[in-house]
Amino acid sequence: MTELRKARIATASLAGCFGCHMAILDIDERLIGLMKLVEFDRSPLTDIKRFTQRCDIGIIEGGCCNEENVHVLQDFRRNCDILIGLGQCAIMGGLPAMRNAIMHSDEPLRECLEEAYITGPFTQNREQIIPNDPALPLLLDKVYPCSEVVEIDYQIPGCAPTGDVIFEALNGLLSGKFKGFERENIRFD
């Protein structure tokens, strides 16, 4: 008897809170059944840092706020047949994108950094230095949703989406029957 090939899934967290990865774990005991159909490649869930081979499904949470986020997202697009934006940060920039609307000067990124590291009401930075170590990824001028950087095949809304919604999407994709969500399944009370 020939064993069917398991689908390969990769995941990454960009500029977000890691809540969507926690929601993946909220699939609970259904993960056991899912593991019969899939294996994880590059993912913080497996601590595999680089792709070991091409993946069927890539799942991205978080938006792009620095150059490293952009490189990771582009790497996922190159190495995954289907790319899913998981959660509001991936779809619309989420809370990290709030910086896009609050900056008013000709140098909005500088204004944001000064507020965070120098002039903020609870900031204690005697040297008045904004971190600029070359090891830190360069910040982008604003936070971008994933779809403004690469093509995203599916979006799963929510902050964070429920384990049920994530399971439904993965199960549908694995069976070839996923065509998107019914409206009543993605409303949030």
Phi, psi at 184, each rounded to 5°: -70, -15
**For residues 173 and 71, what is the distance between their CA atoms, to the nearest angstrom?**
26
Burial readout 110-147 (b: 16 or more C-beta within 10 A, e: otherwise): ebbbbeeeeeeeeeeeeeeeeeeeeeeeeebebbbbbe
Bridge-based pairing of strands 139-144 and 64-66 is antiparallel
- Residue 186, pLDDT above cutoff 90: no
Give pLDDT tens digits for 17-57.
999 999 999 999 998 999 899 999 999 988 999 999 999 99
Residue 184 has a pLDDT of 60
**Local structure of 16: helix, strand or coil:** coil
Find the mean pLDDT for residues 132-144: 89
Query: How many CA atoms within 13 Å lie on the side-chain side of 79?
Result: 22
Residue 58 confidence (pLDDT): 97
Tell me the per-residue pLDDT of 46-68, one tens digit each, with 9 for 90 and over. 899 999 999 999 999 999 999 99
Q: Residue 99's pLDDT band (boundaries 50, 70, 90)?
A: confident
Q: Is the pLDDT of residue 135 over 80?
A: yes
Q: To 10 degrees, the CA torsion angle through 126, 132, 137, 142?
A: 70
Helix, strand, coil shares, percent, the chain, to 5: 35, 20, 40
CA 46/CA 82 separation, integer angstroms = 20
